[in-house]
Amino acid sequence: MARKGIVFRIITYAAAFLLAVPLLVILVWSFANNWPWPLVFPKEFGLRGWEYFFSPTSNSISILLYSILLSLTVTLITLLVTIPASRALALYEFKGKKLVEILILAPLIVSPVAVAMGIHQLFIKLRLANTFFGVVLVHLIPCIPYSVRILKNIFESVGDKFQMQGKVLGASPIQNFIYVTLPIISPGILSAASLVFTVSFSQYFLTFLIGGGRIITYPMVMFPFVQSGDRMLASVYSIVFILASLICLRSMDRLLKKYYKRGDYFYL
């Protein structure tokens, strides 16, 4: 038993170490003016990176907020679309169900990047290119399959028995959805929302193409620094990126918990 405990501990610490080290390196880099090989610690520290980030000329904060708003919009629309779709796929039998499923999950197999050119042409015709809504729409493509996969599983495991119970107790379809379905699938909604947010928040190419340089998101301002090798700035942007994601996910979790007291007693 004791040996097993030790092995388990070593594995746990190793995993934590592997996760933490890159983050630590980034953190140190964000304060390091330069950090040439073979130094273990950088010699010169400075605040240039952070100063630039918070300076009004870089516009970073407003781009960050804009980016968060965009990803939240994507998350919300994805959920609105995928909750009913997943429910139908999980609980109903209908003609062409397999085909619908394959089409929905297709972006997981064929990357949307591959068809982005075609989408771009189409969006230009529809006057959706270079617009906020156009970018939101194109983000939906990689986001929907993740959400459907998660929610469909949840609906399959919960079934429609609670809906039946709600109905016989006098709940109208809308009441049933608000008071029974939503709270019961809320843990699934949270995981789907987190994943979708992250997928949308880190989109680079699709935003770049469809946004046409008019719609600037956070990864787009961050990418040049990573590419050009300004590691100090790249690290600063990375840290903010991670923090922003964490804060957003945490607040979604909070929001959901506030409405529906959650617990691990679901899916009995």
Partner 1 sequence: MPQIELVNITKSFGDKIVLKNINLQVEEGKLISLLGPSGCGKTTTLKIIAGLLTPDEGDVLFDGSSVLKVPVEKRGAVIVFQDYLLFPHLSVFENVEFGLKMAKVDKEKRKEKVKDMLRLVEMEGYEEKYPHELSGGQKQRVALARALAVEPKVLLLDEPFSNLDTRLRESMRDFILEIQKKLNITTILVTHDKEEALMMSDRIALMLNGTIKQYGSPIELYERPVDEEVANFFGRRNYIKGRIEKGRFISDIIAVDVENIEEEPVKAMIKPEDMELVAAEDAYQVLGTVKMRKYAGDRIYYTIEVKGMDMECISNRIFNVGDRVGINVDFTSAVFFKDDNEV
Contact 94, 131 (CB under 8 A): no
Nearer to partner 1, 109 or 174 (CB): 174
Nearer to partner 1, 63 or 256 (CB): 256
CB of 252 to partner 1, least distance (A): 18
Pairs from 17-22 (Cβ < 8 Å, separation ≥ 24): none
CB of 262 to partner 1, least distance (A): 7
CB of 218 to partner 1, least distance (A): 35
Angle at 210 between CA 205 and CA 212, to 5 degrees: 95
Binding residues (CB under 8 A) for partner 1: these are 161-162, 164-172, 175, 179-180, 183-184, 186, 260-263, 265-266, 268
Cα separation of the two ends of the chain: 31
Nearer to partner 1, 186 or 202 (CB): 186
Helix (H) or strand (E) holding 163: helix 161-168
CB of 185 to partner 1, least distance (A): 10
Q: Tell me which residue of 248, 252, 227, 250 sits closest to 237, measured CA to CA.
A: 227
Nearer to partner 1, 21 or 169 (CB): 169
CB of 164 to partner 1, least distance (A): 6
Contact 239, 27 (CB under 8 A): yes
Nearer to partner 1, 36 or 263 (CB): 263
